[in-house]
Amino acid sequence: MSSESARLRIKTWICATVVVLSNVFGNFFMKRGMPPELPNPLAYITVLFQPWVALGVSLLILWMLSRMALLSWADLSYVLPVTSIGYVLVALCGRILLNEQITSKRWAGIVLIVAGVALVSGGSAPQTAGPKSRDGEGEAVSAVGAGQ
């Protein structure tokens, strides 16, 4: 494995970890800070200024930015399954930290997610190469020149 490839793999795993944890804890803090009812549209705006909700929103902004970065260099077919481990962590947070009841059907779904993540994450983080030119080098094709 080249040093460039190793660096990309480490960068991918660090960013994927940030994506997963910011999603899990962003949603957790949003749930923790939400009131039982939001009676009118103004209540949706005012609840954004509650500390737990504001923290959740901030983490979800981090989630979106880190996910965008990750998708810029790794394949969608790799990123989505690997980051779906967040669904498992959300369920565990709900059960442990919020005392939510999780049915056996939900746990079965969580086990299926874990199995899928294990299958997908066993490989490397592929990056789709650009189209090959006549000399064999990969290059990007502009939208303007593609149809000519």
Q: What is the spatial distance between Cα 48 and Cα 2, in angstroms, rounded to a whole number?
A: 46
Q: What is the spatial distance between Cα 135 and Cα 22, in angstroms, rounded to a whole number?
A: 43
Question: Given this model, what pLDDT does residue 9 score?
Answer: 82
Across the chain, which has 148 residues, the per-10-residue mean pLDDT values are 77 92 96 91 92 97 96 86 86 92 91 81 59 48 40
Question: Given this model, what pLDDT does residue 78 score?
Answer: 82
